Structure 1
Amino acid sequence: MSLSLLTFLCLGLYLPVWNALRVTQPYRVVGFRGEVELFCSYHHTGRHEPEELRVTLYRGVYREGKQEVCTSSFTHNQTSFQVEGVGEVRCRGQLGPGRVNLTISGLRGNDTDLYYCGIEVMYPPPYLRRFGNGTLLFIPEEPGCSLPEAQRTSDMGETSVRLALAGLVAANILMVISVVTFLLYQGLQRKRRFGGITQMISQNDGRFGYGNFQ
């Protein structure tokens, strides 16, 4: 094998390892009041430290159909940024040792999704671009204008339950009154019936007795 071919193969195997970029990010992050902090860590292997980085936050399950949320660049002279993202989303970034600290605000419950960190080494060459493994940003739904409506619904539910219980109690009271009235009526009827029979027997006995003595 010629010396030039051997040198080419060695360089071909050596350079990709020497100039490498790896991006990692947490698996899941929970937001608070529409804001979330996301750490995009990177590991760069090269002769020189990156002097200019570009970080981009993407949203979407599949990388091919991901949506760009916000993007900005870092240099030695500018290590922080604040930009307007998509819709009401705002992004703030701070460059730290081996990572970019992203603060995303203006999020809502329906913004819960998978987000990817994309980091590019702009300078010095060679140009490198890598994506993180994705982070599930869970944004709890904050109570807003819908709270009074929910409260009214709850009050209406409690009122309905109270009315139903009151109706049930009233029905039981009426049933008890009806039963007591019926029993009293039956008692009076029975008393009248047996009282009349006793009186007739007493009169017959007296009249027949006097007739026998005469």
Structure 2
Amino acid sequence: MTETRRPWRVRPQPTSHLGLLQEEGLQLRPTISTMILRLLLALNFFPSIQVAENKILVKQSPMLVVYNNAVNLSCKYTFNLFSKEFRASLYKGADSAVEVCVVNGNYSHQLQFRSKTGFHCDGKLGNETVTFYLWNLFVNQTDIYFCKIEVMYPPPYIDNEKSNGTIIHVKENHHCPAHRTPESSKPFWALVVVVGVLALYSLLVTVALFTYWMKSKRNRVLQSDYLNMTPRRLGPTRRHYHPYAPSRDFAAYRS
């Protein structure tokens, strides 16, 4: 038997997709590992966005110079506090250890600013701005002040990142009197009105008494002059008959 040998066939090499894509200038499709990596990065990015949305950004002036012992400190915030229970406060010191002024509430009630640390403060809450008004400041109260905005209700609790703060530099001024707020001047003006009414009443009573006294004195003087003009009889007087006048016989008239 003769063996028949088959001729060797050269199998064609499969063309690599990588070579074709590189030759055509196309990019490779993302592999599974690349997709997983991108997914992990996205998952790590979303919490950072959520944290940023749960923080309030506050901007303050870098420095304020006080010449008349009073200052207005405005804090601009990027958050809608409408229909929310919030708290706005002002702190003193680099570590915010002293609470200078605070107000809490909502837009449906009248807001009242107060201080528990001896500061004279008031304020006003506007659209994305809260203004703290401080007066009767002293030189030793020169420091850095920080604004803080907090949303208390509804949940979640939200506050602001610590801002750069505002340096309040109080200049010494001996000739400028302490500023009076409208609230503190109300008792003063009430006292002025009461004293004025009492003074006017006393003046009217004094004028009336003086007028009455003058009239009484004038009447006494007139009565005294009238009494002095009345003739006084010193004794009995005799009637002198003229010699040429005939005497009358009264008996003839009787008959």
SS in 2 for 1:138: strand
Are 1:91 and 2:121 counterparts?
Answer: yes
Contiguous gaps of at least 5 residues in structure 1: 145-214
Match of 2:163 among 119, 125, 132: 132
Contiguous gaps of at least 5 residues in structure 2: 1-35, 176-255
Which runs of structure 2 are paired with 1:1-40 in the superposition (5 Å)?
12-40=47-75
Deviations 1:7-53 (A, max 9, x none): 975753442233331111101112242111000111128xx856122
Change (3 A) 1:129 1:109: same
- In structure 1, the residue matched to 2:76 is 41
Which runs of structure 2 are paired with 1:143-162 in the superposition (5 Å)?
143=174
| Max Rg structure | 2
Deviations 1:65-95 (A, max 9, x none): 62221222131123532323422x2111211
Specify the code of the residue in structure 2 equivalent to 1:95.
L
Which runs of structure 2 are paired with 1:104-183 in the superposition (5 Å)?
104-130=134-160, 131-143=162-174
- In structure 2, the residue matched to 1:168 is none
RMSD: 2.8
Which runs of structure 2 are paired with 1:175-214 in the superposition (5 Å)?
none
Change (3 A) 1:138 1:127: same
- Partners of 1:92 and 1:105 in 2: CA distance: 9
Change (3 A) 1:69 1:142: same
Which runs of structure 2 are paired with 1:59-98 in the superposition (5 Å)?
59-60=92-93, 62-63=94-95, 66-78=97-109, 80-87=111-118, 89-98=119-128
Deviations 1:167-203 (A, max 9, x none): xxxxxxxxxxxxxxxxxxxxxxxxxxxxxxxxxxxxx
- Partners of 1:121 and 1:29 in 2: CA distance: 27
Q: Name whichever structure is richer in strand by fraction.
A: 1
Q: Name whichever structure is richer in helix by fraction.
A: 1
Structure 1 segments of 4+ aligned residues over 6 angstroms from their partners: 5-8
Deviations 1:101-127 (A, max 9, x none): 110112112211111111111122221
Contact 2:65 2:170 in 1 (8 A): yes
Change (3 A) 1:16 1:85: same
Q: Normalised by the size of structure 2, how large is the TM-score?
A: 0.47
SS in 2 for 1:17: helix
- Partners of 1:85 and 1:36 in 2: CA distance: 19
- Partners of 2:113 and 2:82 in 1: CA distance: 24
Specify the code of the residue in structure 2 equivalent to 1:51.
K
Are 1:52 and 2:104 counterparts?
Answer: no
Q: Normalised by the size of structure 1, how large is the TM-score?
A: 0.55
Specify the code of the residue in structure 1 equivalent to 2:86.
L
Change (3 A) 1:50 1:127: farther
